[in-house]
Amino acid sequence: VNDADVTSGKVMVIAPDRFLDAAIAENVFAGNAMTRRTQWQYAVLLQRHPAGHVDQSIGKNVANGNVGLITPNRLVSKDFEEITLDGVKMVFQNTPDTEAPVEMHTYFPQFKAFWAAENITGTIHNIYTLRGAAVRNALNWSKEINVALYKFGQEAEVMFASHSWPRWGNARIQEVLRTQRDAYANLNNQALHFANRGVTINEIHNVYEVPKSLQQQWAARSYHGDVQNNSRGVINRFLGHYDGNPVNLIPLSPRDSAPLYVEMMGGSAKIIAKGEELMAQGNYLHATEILNRLVFAEPQNRAARRLLADAYEQLGYRAESTSVRNSFLQGAFELRNGLPGGVPPRSMGPDVVSAMSTEQWLDFIGISVDPKRAGGMKFTINLVTPDNGEKYAIEMSNATLTNIKGLLAKNPDLTVTVNRSDLNQVMM
């Protein structure tokens, strides 16, 4: 799509309200960390092989290159809106706080075709995604699917999605809609049911079970998202990471606690011997529990690294979720081979930068500040961008960079006046 065509209105780019804010917050503010975690979820270092990367469930793999982004010129802000383009009528359903903070469905009445965005795929999706993102609202997700079922699902003859194959026939469409509606609602309700009876975030994944009727539905299987991490995600959303045990209020970092565990278990030789015994019994999770501590205590212990990698590998092979499989297999690869060198991938390309608001860019600079190096700094800058009529007061104090839009400081140390179009070159 040509930027000029979008700016002029020749091409309409339609998105839900607050789309740009959500896209930047999720993919840029925590971009470097998310890029690293993406390597685990999508196993980017593994060969395409039956014993390596096989699939990504809702796609084959992540794309290479920079991410593009064009600012939408038509926002959908109401619960339902109708737009007709080139004679094609579209009914948009806003579905915020579902698979993404902002999202929408689209129904094409003349074709009886329902586009489900990323909310209804051929698998259970992520309430908590391993690459990192805000925990999703499983109950609201279920409710928005229910709205779609009653609003569009009564007459739709084909249903398709961003990352899924089409479903044909109204009966099948309604079956899939009800399956996923019930799956997300059951996950939310039962995780909280058990939480209210004392089950913690560190236990729920071993307690919650998907109802057997849903287990028998392909659309409710854990090929992408997985029930263990999703159930923990529900509790995290409502109760946070703390499990109520004071020992976990101020936990030691793994590298600090691991040497004590190794000492109390009698040293590395005994741990490796026990790890091999557990592996032979098929108790791979138990093996990782002790071997992981040994690797943190003795990072150069190659025997421990190899054995832990073997355990990860076995856990990966038997995982239903591709995200879980890839994470275990990528972990095994890194234990055996380390990480490759080179330039790390960028979390944002030129299109993303130009689509960011100036306020978002200033917030991102604040995230990038090294607090130790900024400890003694104190200054105030006024930033004025005449071409879009914006102004900002920027302050550095207490090793923290803050900004406020629409105001200027009375006695700034520096005033910068630059067009936003020119500032884009600095931002990149």
Q: Does 278 lie in the same domain as 213?
A: no
Confidence of residue 344 (pLDDT cuts 50, 70, 90): low
Taking 70 as the threshold, does the pLDDT of residue 20 lie above it?
yes
Token pair listed for 322: 């591709």
Cα–Cα distance between 131 and 244 in angstroms, integer?
A: 26
Q: CATH no. for residue 155?
A: 3.60.15.30
For residue 224, what are the contacts with CB-CB under 8 A and spacing of at least 6? Answer: 56, 57, 58, 121, 123, 124, 125, 126, 321, 322, 323
Domain count for the chain: 3
Rounded to an integer, the average pLDDT of 136-142 is: 98
Residue 31 near residue 315 (C-beta atoms within 8 A): no
- Do β-strands 414-417 and 379-385 pair in parallel, antiparallel, or remain unpaired? parallel
Rounded to an integer, the average pLDDT of 153-165 is: 95
Q: Does 78 lie in the same domain as 22?
A: yes
Taking 70 as the threshold, does the pLDDT of residue 299 lie above it?
yes
Q: Does 282 lie in the same domain as 198?
A: no
pLDDT of residue 50: 92
Confidence of residue 342 (pLDDT cuts 50, 70, 90): low
Q: Does 168 lie in the same domain as 309?
A: no
pLDDT of residue 192: 98
Confidence of residue 424 (pLDDT cuts 50, 70, 90): confident
Rounded to an integer, the average pLDDT of 183-204 is: 98
Taking 60 as the threshold, does the pLDDT of residue 163 lie above it?
yes
Torsional sign, CA 341, 345, 346, 347: negative
Give the Cα-Cα-Cα angle 84, 90, 92 (nearest 5 degrees). 125
Query: What is the percent of the chain with per-residue pLDDT over 70, rounded to a whole number?
Result: 97
What letter does residue 300 receive in the DSSP assignment? T
Residue 180 near residue 120 (C-beta atoms within 8 A): yes
Q: Is the residue at 337 inside a domain?
A: no
Find the range with the poorest average confidence among 100-114, 259-273, 282-296, 349-363: 349-363
Q: Is the residue at 335 inside a domain?
A: no
Please name the residue that has the structure tokens 């607090």.
Answer: 371
Residue 323 near residue 41 (C-beta atoms within 8 A): yes
Q: Does 156 lie in the same domain as 296?
A: no
Q: Does 146 lie in the same domain as 19?
A: yes
Token pair listed for 148: 């779609």
> Within its chain, how far is the Cα of 31 from the centroid?
11
Q: Which helix (H) or strand (E) holds 38?
A: helix 31-42
Find the range with the poorest average confidence among 16-20, 126-130, 339-343, 404-408: 339-343
Model's pTM, two decimal places? 0.91
pLDDT of residue 233: 98
Token pair listed for 104: 């929408």
Rounded to an integer, the average pLDDT of 14-21 is: 93
Q: Does 196 lie in the same domain as 89?
A: yes
Taking 90 as the threshold, does the pLDDT of residue 403 lie above it?
yes
| Exposed e or buried b per residue across 323-356, where buried means at least 16 C-beta atoms within 10 angstroms of its C-beta | bbbbbbbbbbbbbeeeeeeeeebebbebebbbbb
Rounded to an integer, the average pLDDT of 142-152 is: 98
Find the range with the poorest average confidence among 12-26, 237-251, 330-344: 330-344
Q: What is the 3-state secondary structure (H, E, C) of 133-161?
A: CCCCCHHHHHHHHHHHHHHCCCCCCEEEE
Q: CATH no. for residue 401?
A: 3.30.1050.10
Token pair listed for 92: 């948009």
Looking at every residue in the chain, the average pLDDT score rounds to 93
Taking 90 as the threshold, does the pLDDT of residue 7 lie above it?
no
pLDDT of residue 64: 73
Which residue, 218, 244, 265, sits at the end of a domain? 218
Q: Which domain holds residue 266?
A: 254-318
Token pair listed for 168: 């044909």
Q: Does 149 lie in the same domain as 80?
A: yes
